[in-house]
Amino acid sequence: MQIRIVGVVGCGLMGSGIAQVCAESGFDVIVREMSEELLKKGLGRIDSFLAKSVEKGKISAERKAEVMSRISGTTSLEALAPSHIVIEAATENLEAKREIYKALDAACPQGTLFASNTSSLSITELAAVTRRGARFVGLHFFNPVPLMKLVEVVRSPLTSAEAFEEAFAFAKALGKTPIRANDKTGFVVNRLLVPYLLDAVRALEEGVGSVVDIDEGMRLGCGHPMGPLTLLDFVGLDTTFYIANIMFDEFREKRFAPPPLLKRMVQAGMFGRKSGMGFYDYSADAPKPSQGLV
């Protein structure tokens, strides 16, 4: 099937980025959020990303208008029915995603390709609630989607070779570099990254170093573009917490268990950049380490 229309479920951090890159690559995009308010916020995120690109002289105002004109918003899942592919980027919660897929399966024609951006849930388990296991893949984008080149294309035991290749070609059409992964929790990147991020929180908990020491240590000592606690603030502490729980549940290995400090921060609503506070406080112009973490 030739993909021209892309449906996106969720217009949060990832969904807004996915909608943006699809529209930038010439696809028509329909994005669904839970409420008009969340939709406005998500579309506003795309608008301000593009506005900054105009300010920096990277794109013209006409190009911004053209990209925005390809994106339409809705609060109805049924409105995604004309899509040739639906990419789901809703909150990392199995029950919530299963409900979404049941409703999408009823609303979309049998040929529509379904893709989940899940970081840690089983593609097989999600596909199993639909009648289209053969046309169900993982398309795991990275944050921030407009800047990060990688997409993990994930196959479940049910995925057909044809659907997998369609998804792989679609990722390339977005200007991304896809890699192939099997449906093992965390796929390639999070399997290696999540234990590292959790260890950084444990190092902070155990007083090995301060927030700044840990971040500067990994940035300057290992040549990483940013430290692990800064990265956690970008990814979202809530999202990382969900992912760690799912990975721990799957592998029962201590290295995947979320440390108590991460749990407390999530309980406190300290989700990172998106809530204005995480390991750093973003209320002033320059982020500074948050007070009272350990």
Chain residues in the site for ligand NAD (CB under 6 A): 9-15, 32-34, 38, 89-92, 96, 100, 117-119, 140-143, 235-236, 239
Q: How far is the CB of 18 from ligand NAD (least distance, A)?
A: 9
Q: Could you tell me the two tokens for 102?
A: 């049941």
Cα–Cα distances in angstroms (integers) from residue 5 to residues 28, 31, 84, 165, 213, in the given order: 5, 11, 5, 18, 47
Tell me if 228 sits within 8 A of 213, measured CB to CB.
Answer: no
To the query of whether residue 60 is one of the catalytic residues in this protein, the response is no
CA dihedral 154, 160, 161, 163 (to 10 degrees): -70
The Cα–Cα gap between 233 and 231 comes to: 5
Which candidate in 120, 156, 190, 290 is catalytic? 190
| Spatial distance between the Cα atoms of 244 and 130, rounded to a whole number of angstroms | 26
Please, what is the Cα angle at 275 between 228 and 147, to 5 degrees? 55
Q: Whole-number minimum distance, CB 141 to ligand NAD, in Å?
A: 6
152, 156, 166, 290: which is the annotated catalytic residue?
Answer: 152
Q: Annotated catalytic residue: which of 117, 119, 120, 156? A: 119
132 vs 273, beta carbon nearer ligand NAD: 273
- Does 152 qualify as catalytic in the annotation? yes
Q: Smallest gap, in angstroms, from Cβ of residue 242 to ligand NAD?
A: 7
CB 61, min distance to ligand NAD, A: 27
Cβ nearer to ligand NAD, comparing 65 with 155: 155
Query: Is 224 an active-site residue?
Result: no
Q: Which is nearer to ligand NAD, 100 or 201 (CB)?
A: 100
**Catalytic residue check, 93:** no
Structure tokens at 39: 């939709």
CB of 269 to ligand NAD, least distance (A): 13
100 vs 158 by CB, closer to ligand NAD: 100
Of 83, 140, 166, 290, which is the active-site residue? 140
- Closer to ligand NAD by CB, 30 or 113: give it: 30
- Picking from 57, 152, 138, 58, the residue whose alpha carbon sits closest to that of residue 97 is 138
Q: Give just the sign of the alpha carbon dihedral 7, 11, 16, 17.
A: negative
* Catalytic positions: 119, 140, 152, 190
